[in-house]
Amino acid sequence: MAPRFILYCLRAGFAAAVLAMIVAPYLFNANHLVLLTEFMSMLVLAIMWNLLAGYADIVTVGQHAYVGVGAYAFFGFTALLGWNPYLSIPLSGLIAFIIAIPTMGLVFRLRTAYLAIGTWVVAELLMLAAGKLVPWGAGSGTSLPISIILEFGRARADRLANIYWLGFGLAAVAMLMTYFLLRSRIGIGLTAMRDNEEGAAAIGVNITYARILCFLGTAPFLGMAGAIITLQKLRVAPPASFSIIDWTVFIIFNVVIGGIGSFEGPIIGTIIYFVLRQYLAGLGAWHLILLGTFSIVIILIEKRGLWGLIRRVLPDDLIPIAHKPSASFRPAAKAATKAAIKETAA
Amino acid sequence: MATTAAKPLLAVEGVSVFYDKFRAIDHVDIAVGSGEIVSIIGANGAGKSTLLKAIIGQADRVEGTISYDGNNIVDRSTEAIVASGIMLVPEGRRLFPSLTVEENLRLGRDVGRKGEIGFADVWRLFPILQERRRQKAGSLSGGQQQMVALGRALLANPRILLCDEISLGLAPLVVNELYTLIPQIKNRGIGILIVEQDIERSLTVADRFYCLLEGKVSLAGRPAEVSRDLVMKHYFGL
Amino acid sequence: MVAVWANQLLQGVMLGGLYTLFAIGLSLTAGVMRFVNIAHGDFIVMICYALLLLTSLLGINPVLATLIVLPFAFLVGFVLQRFLLQRVVGENVLLVILVTFALSIIIENGLLEGFGADPQKISGGWMETATVALGHGINVGLFQIVTFVAAVVLVAGLDLLLYRTGIGAKIRAVSDDVNAANLIGLSSVRIYAVAMGITFVTIAIAAGFVSIWTNFDPAAGPIRLLIAFEVIVMGGLGSLWGSLAGGIVLGVAQAIGGQFDIAWQIMAGHIVFLIVLALRPQGLFPKY
């Protein structure tokens, strides 16, 4: 019973952590709050990449495209058009969604690794195109006007709190969206598809529809994350807003290490990233070398990552996604199976 | 259990084959001697193909001994097993469709043993293939593909030939033709292990047979010595 | 005016030769093993640095250095496939993507730590600066011509290897049906390793030329991968000569875009790639 006890403790801990995150601005100082906001954005990116690669079988290495698009859209709405900054965030998500449509039309003509690199090509193109946009500062980018930032709160503490809650809100919505999607018909179909594509198609899972939904569904979240990241970085610039290292490479490493294809994996991976960053900050290139090596080792040992290793001991997921037969169904099913076995043996 | 008087060239002794935890073959004993035709019959899922895969070295987990020419080959690589004289004609032909007939045949020669069988023999056995030697194997009919698969196996100069369901998916006339070749191959001193679902066909040509039922040998003997009824019973497990 | 455009076009075609060199190895692995090595471009850069060491520290001339590196390149490819990638090859492409992606990052940062971020280049001596006049004001660099010829020779050579040799037939067999190959005693593990070794030989040749053609630095890998990728997709997956066609299309597109500035040069390539993908997704000379 010990593993089940540990599971319940972990669940309680997780619930407590979520509560703490809700009231974080009252619990943590400014520096930590900034870090937590960053954590929330990275978490959103991780959840989205994991949804595509771990569940929908669409590996991408170009999601930084939508982060950049979101960032640039946010700047456009607020600094250039002067629209309401709070409203501009979901609008940025909308722009990312719009860009995702033709992108999907193109890259879905490719499969697997080719699709992945195709998304990278699109990201490169968008980054280069962004560098041509003069109102956005062209190649060197430009800063977010102070007036925009002040709209989130005159006092620094208020600003940090509001921006944090936006980040937390986005992360919470992302997690809820993922949770309900995975528990829905589409989600079950995705898991079936992941296990056996032909079999899934044979039982009527509309694979194309599911993949389109997932690909397009992640874009707005990536875009909104881009907007929030811009609020923290206070600048837009092609290499920073469209940074493959920050918004794709690290994210992939985090999810792989934490556990791809699970709900808990992206959370664990992102936490580890921040912990490691504190210690490995001074190492420069070695930071990435170590993360990369660690990722390869994890993939070779347990492709479901650290959560996969933990799951070998625990009886169930932290956040149960899989459907189980109802309590009334279980004893009946057991009895029926026993009877069937008796018959064939006779 | 019926065996030949001399020590058999290939002896499967107490072999079990597992897929993960599932025991597909359960303590099976089978022997094949040189110049002997041995049939393995059994329903779908009885374990026939698994047995052949185990012999050729392509099964994941094998317990027991497979002795070939006195040596235990259970842990040997397929490459080594083929090079020492055991060759498989896989179920469903499994040719390489984009390679020509000649290239497919040549592969058999490359992976196999040095011996007397050469291209001349294959062209003599299958004249139609000589005509189509430069054609892509994927464009041939089912019967012709089976000829290529057999030819490929023969070019490996095997001492033991494993045939996995060579009649599957072919017209009866074509199968007749193929089966007339089996005794010709036997006359070269090659031991042949034939796996078939078609009881009639395989018992007609075999010297001895084994019947597999759910992974175990349920019946063994010489075709002439057992009644069809008895065979049917053990085939279906009635 | 015509001369200017003709020169640009010719430059583009010659550039296509260089791009074909990048792509040919990727085409082989993609066709045979059905996976794309995301670290492909980074390995090209890695060998560029190896060549740099040989030429600058030991004073060996670039051609000799490349020849020396070739057998080592084969070995690196063979070992990489046999002992690392073989463990993730299979139905699940995700793992291969992740492992090669991680490798890419490791190599880039390893080179950064070892050599620093400064761009490097190997001097091609007289061959680099010599030009050939073709009349009517059209000039082409000698080195560019040599590179293009090398690309054609390499494609022809690989074609010969695949279709006229025993090992080539075995590679094609394994690429047709890997399970059938294993069943008849054709070790797919060994054949894959050989194919990767051959790929790395082409990578070394590509490095030999690109290290002289232009600057390189630790971060130059990804753009090389993207170019190779665009070339093989436009050319048609599985087609060697298609890679040459794809390379030329990309080279010409970039040459035209390059008339404006460097960003437009790269963008033009990406845009043409996306257009070809939209209109003819199977590529110019598709095999499958």
C-alpha dist (Å) from residue A167 to A16, A91, A97, A173: 19, 15, 19, 10
At residue B1 the predicted structure's pLDDT band, cuts being 50, 70 and 90, is very low
At residue C55 the predicted structure's pLDDT band, cuts being 50, 70 and 90, is very high
C286 lies in a domain? no
- Residue A295 C-alpha from the chain's centroid: 18
C-alpha dist (Å) from residue A19 to A16, A174, A273, B35, B40: 5, 17, 22, 79, 67
**CB contacts, 8 Å: C101 with chain A:** 61, 249, 252
Q: Which of A141, A17, A169, A21 is nearest to A75 (CA)?
A: A141
Q: Do B87 and C184 touch (CB under 8 A)?
A: yes
- The per-residue DSSP string of A244-275 comes to HIIIIIHHHHHHHHH-TTSSHHHHHHHHHHHH
Tell me: pLDDT of B194 over 60.
yes
Give the neighbours of chain B: at least 3 Cβ pairs within 8 Å: C
B116: three-class secondary structure by DSSP? coil
Q: Do C184 and B152 touch (CB under 8 A)?
A: yes
Angstroms from B202 CA to nearest CA on chain C: 23
CATH, residue A225: 1.10.3470
Chain C contact residues (CB < 8 Å to B): 166, 169-170, 172-173, 176-177, 179-187, 190
Structural domain count of chain A: 1
At residue A318 the predicted structure's pLDDT band, cuts being 50, 70 and 90, is confident
pLDDT for res B2: 47
Give the mean model confidence (pLDDT) for residues A309-336. Answer: 73
The residue with greater pLDDT, C142 or C90, is C142
CA B25, B29, B32, B37 dihedral sign is: negative
pLDDT for res A1: 61
Give the mean model confidence (pLDDT) for residues A263-287. Answer: 87
Q: Do C176 and B99 touch (CB under 8 A)?
A: yes
Give the neighbours of chain C: at least 3 Cβ pairs within 8 Å: A, B
**Out of C107-111, C122-126, C155-159, least confident range:** C122-126
Q: How far apart are CA A118 and CA A103, in angstroms?
A: 9
Between strands B160-164 and B191-196, the pairing is parallel
Q: Would you put residue A116 in left (φ > 0), alpha (ψ -120 to 50) or beta?
A: alpha
Domain B10-236 classification at class level: alpha beta
Tell me: pLDDT of B3 over 60.
no
Write out residues 176-235 of C within 8 Å (CB-CB) of A: 222, 225-226, 229-230, 233
Q: How far apart are CA C56 and CA B116, in angstroms?
A: 58
A128: three-class secondary structure by DSSP? helix
**Out of A68-77, A247-256, C133-142, C149-158, least confident range:** C133-142
Give the mean model confidence (pLDDT) for residues A181-208. Answer: 74
DSSP state of B2: -
Q: Do A288 and C226 touch (CB under 8 A)?
A: no
> Using only C-alpha atoms, what is the Rg of chain B?
17
Give the mean model confidence (pLDDT) for residues A126-152. Answer: 93
- Per residue in A211-221, pLDDT (tens digit) is 898 999 999 99
Chain A CA closest to residue C102: A292
Chain A contact residues (CB < 8 Å to C): 53, 57, 59, 61, 105-106, 109-110, 112-114, 116-118, 120-122, 124-125, 128-129, 131-132, 139, 244, 249, 252-253, 256, 260, 284-286, 288-289, 291-293, 295-296, 299-300, 303
**Facing residue for C176 by CB, picked from B82, B83, B97:** B97
Neighbours of A337 (CB within 10 A): 10
Q: How far apart are CA A265 and CA A256, in angstroms?
A: 8
DSSP state of B9: S
Q: How far apart are CA A236 and CA B28, in angstroms?
A: 72
pTM of the predicted protein model: 0.89
- Per residue in C40-53, pLDDT (tens digit) is 999 999 999 999 99
Scan for tokens 């994350």, then name that residue.
A225
Tell me: pLDDT of C268 over 50.
yes
Give the mean model confidence (pLDDT) for residues B212-235. Answer: 86
Burial C238-270 (b: 16+ CB within 10 A, else e): bbbbbbbbbbbbbbbbbbbbbeeeebbbbbbbb
Candidates C33, C34, C104, C106: best to mutate against A (most CBs of A within 10 A) is C106
- Per residue in B10-58, pLDDT (tens digit) is 999 999 999 888 888 999 999 999 999 999 988 877 788 899 999 999 9
Q: How far apart are CA A61 and CA A249, in angstroms?
A: 8
What are the structure tokens assigned to A156, written together? 């620094």
- Tell me which residue range forms the domain holding C185: 2-279
B60 contacts chain C (CB < 8 A)? no
Tell me: pLDDT of A340 over 80.
no
**CB contacts, 8 Å: B99 with chain C:** 169, 172-173, 176
Q: What are phi and psi of B66, to 5 degrees?
A: -115, 110
C-alpha dist (Å) from residue C178 to B153, C23, C90, C185, C192: 17, 24, 10, 11, 10
Q: Do C101 and A61 touch (CB under 8 A)?
A: yes
Question: Chains B vs A: touching, with 3+ CB pairs under 8 Å?
Answer: no
Q: Do B78 and C185 touch (CB under 8 A)?
A: yes
- Tell me which residue range forms the domain holding A53: 2-345
C288 lies in a domain? no
**Out of A55-64, A275-284, B61-70, C210-219, least confident range:** A275-284
Structural domain count of chain C: 1
C-alpha dist (Å) from residue C262 to A128, A131, C119, C154, C257: 10, 12, 17, 29, 8
C-alpha dist (Å) from residue C249 to A133, C8, C76, C139, C257: 27, 13, 31, 20, 12
3-class SS string, chain C: CHHHHHHHHHHHHHHHHHHHHHHHHHHHHHHHHCCCCCCHHHHHHHHHHHHHHHHHHCCCCHHHHHHHHHHHHHHHHHHHHHHCHHHCCCCCHHHHHHHHHHHHHHHHHHHHHHHCCCCECCCCCHHHHCEEECCCCCEEEHHHHHHHHHHHHHHHHHHHHHHHCHHHHHHHHHHHCHHHHHHCCCCHHHHHHHHHHHHHHHHHHHHHHHHHHCCECHHHHHHHHHHHHHHHHHHCCCCHHHHHHHHHHHHHHHHHHCCCCHHHHHHHHHHHHHHHHHHCCCCCCCCC
Between strands B22-32 and B10-19, the pairing is antiparallel
At residue A328 the predicted structure's pLDDT band, cuts being 50, 70 and 90, is low
Scan for tokens 């066609």, then name that residue.
C245
